[in-house]
Amino acid sequence: MNYYFDVFKIRKDFPFFINNPDIIYLDSAATSHKPSIVIEKEKEFYEKYNCNVHRTSGSFSLKVEEMCENSRKTIANFLNCDESEIFFTYSATYGINYIAYFLCINEYLGNDDEVIITEMEHHANLLPFLNLSKIFGFKVKVWKMNEKLELDIEELQKIISDKTKLLAVTHMSNVLGVVNDIENIVKICKDRGLMVLVDGAQGIVHNHVDLKKWDLDFYVFSAHKLYGPLGLGVVYVNKKHSKKKKPAFSGGSIISYVSLDKITYLDSPYFFEPGTQAFAQIFAFKYAIEYLKNLNLEKVKMYEIGLTKYLLEKLKELDFVEIYGNYEEVNDKRFAIVPFNVVNLHSHDVSFVLDRFNVLIRVGHHCAQLIHHKLGIPGSCRVSIAFYNTKEDIDKFIEALKQVKFLISKN
Ligand code: PMP
């Protein structure tokens, strides 16, 4: 199959690269850049349509409502689920917090129950459960990684008990690049009667998602990592959880009737969307998804895997670099995100030097301290790749990395 990918043409769609031709951006796992169509559409919203939805029946309001419902339709199509199963919030973090609290106040989780989280989680999919466990009395268990820094299904089978109600697991690690086998994980959990919440913040950026096929319970991500606007989170709630429940957060727009002793809620997804929504961002996000689909998801993935292979080859040539995780082979089970350290140097010192050469990467613990505890290190450097990166970006990064050697000699 021909995976030719005209990355130089693609880069012209991204104003960030036009305005910053000297910047080597290898930090897309933190946030991605936006194609001009997304930026233009957000601007267009404020310039042409700006008004609130569900407040009036005026034609402007109805138009904005229709535009946002079109976006919801595009997103539902992309994920292969029903429109009513998608609700908008402000980020993946807010989405996971919503679901965690929703499960507690609706008594899915309580005293004597267990929730399994994994050692691979971003704090966004860990802290809500740790915090709420102290209030609602459930126990949090950890699915540990093996020596290859992967999650073994056998280990999951062992730690599930009759009390386990939920598994909260990441689709793709934001530190290790590991892609978890969600389909298989969900099958096991369903057999054992567990709900599954998947943190898709990184996974959706690089992998095909099919929610009808997986039939999991909750899938959450942020638009800004998927080439869309900041300030927008998307939550999938399997329709089996949306009927006649208590909303985790409430306010305007989610009810059909209120008196002091009776409240009638709207159906999903509106039930989950109190208050004024991020209409401009919702509207613009549709164009990010269409842009990505036009590039062809499979081509994007093969290109990113190829670039990760090139990065690994070059990185392994440097004897002062330690790479973490099982990067013997690069394939669709682990790619796009590579953690490493320069021996005897703090990751912040590495980024300081790289920054002088206009190379942007992420350093620190990446909000995933359990992984770093397992590795016995305080932090790491992380290179993350998107389809707009080039081999030249990697070459410049490697050349800049060689410059940190003088710091090691001073240590
Ligand atoms: N989960 C993972 C795996 C992530 O990488 C991130 C972002 N770093 C989040 C959750 C949280 O995303 P946000 O900051 O957009 O809420």
pLDDT at 244: 66
Residues with Cβ within 8 Å of 231's Cβ and at least 6 positions away in sequence, in order, are 90, 91, 224, 278, 281
| pLDDT, tens only, 271-323 | 999 999 999 999 999 999 999 999 999 999 999 999 999 999 999 999 999 99
Concerning whether 367 is annotated as a catalytic residue, the answer is yes
Query: What Å distances lie between residue 324 and 36, 118, 172, 381, CA to CA?
Result: 35, 18, 15, 10
Pocket test for ligand 1, best of 367, 369, 371 (most atoms within 8 A of CB): 367
Burial 4-26 (b: 16+ CB within 10 A, else e): ebeeeebbebbebbeeeeeebbb
Compute the distance from residue 377 Cα to the ligand 1 centre, in Å. 21
DSSP per-residue letters across 112-154: T-EEEEETT--GGGTHHHHHHHHHH--EEEEE---TTS---HH
Nearest ligand 1 atom to the CA of 95 is 16
Q: d(Cα 323, Cα 236) in Å, to the nearest integer? A: 35
Compute the distance from residue 224 Cα to the ligand 1 centre, in Å. 10
Pairing of strands 195-199, 164-170: parallel
Closest Cα to atom 4 of ligand 1:
201
**Which residues of the chain register pLDDT less than 70?**
1-4, 55-56, 244, 407-411
Compute the distance from residue 382 Cα to the ligand 1 centre, in Å. 15
Identify the CA nearest to 228 among candidates 177, 287, 150.
287
Q: Which stretches of 28-107 are assigned E, i.e. beta strand?
A: 86-89
User: In the structure, which protein residues have their CB atom closer than 6 angstroms to any atom of ligand 1?
Assistant: 91-93, 122, 124-125, 170, 174, 199, 201-202, 222, 367
List phi, psi (to 5°) of 75: -70, -45
Q: d(Cα 330, Cα 304) in Å, to the nearest integer? A: 10
Q: d(Cα 269, Cα 371) in Å, to the nearest integer? A: 35
Identify the CA nearest to 17 among candidates 389, 397, 392, 395.
389
Compute the distance from residue 280 Cα to the ligand 1 centre, in Å. 21
DSSP 266: P
pLDDT at 410: 63
Nearest ligand 1 atom to the CA of 91 is 16
Residue written as token pair 């993350």: 384
pLDDT at 1: 42
Compute the distance from residue 48 Cα to the ligand 1 centre, in Å. 32
Nearest ligand 1 atom to the CA of 93 is 16
Cis amide prior to 128 (ω within 30 degrees): no
pLDDT at 53: 86
Q: Which stretches of 275-346 are assigned E, i.e. beta strand?
A: 321-323, 337-342
What would you report as the CA-atom Rg of the chain, rounded to the nearest whole angstrom?
22
| Per annotation, catalytic residue among 51, 81, 104, 367 | 367
3 state DSSP class of 187 = helix
Identify the CA nearest to 136 among candidates 163, 106, 171, 166.
106
Pocket test for ligand 1, best of 96, 199, 206, 281 (most atoms within 8 A of CB): 199
| pTM across the whole model | 0.96
Cβ proximity of 126 and 373 under 8 Å: no
Identify the CA nearest to 288 among candidates 232, 219, 214.
232
Pocket test for ligand 1, best of 197, 202, 230, 382 (most atoms within 8 A of CB): 202
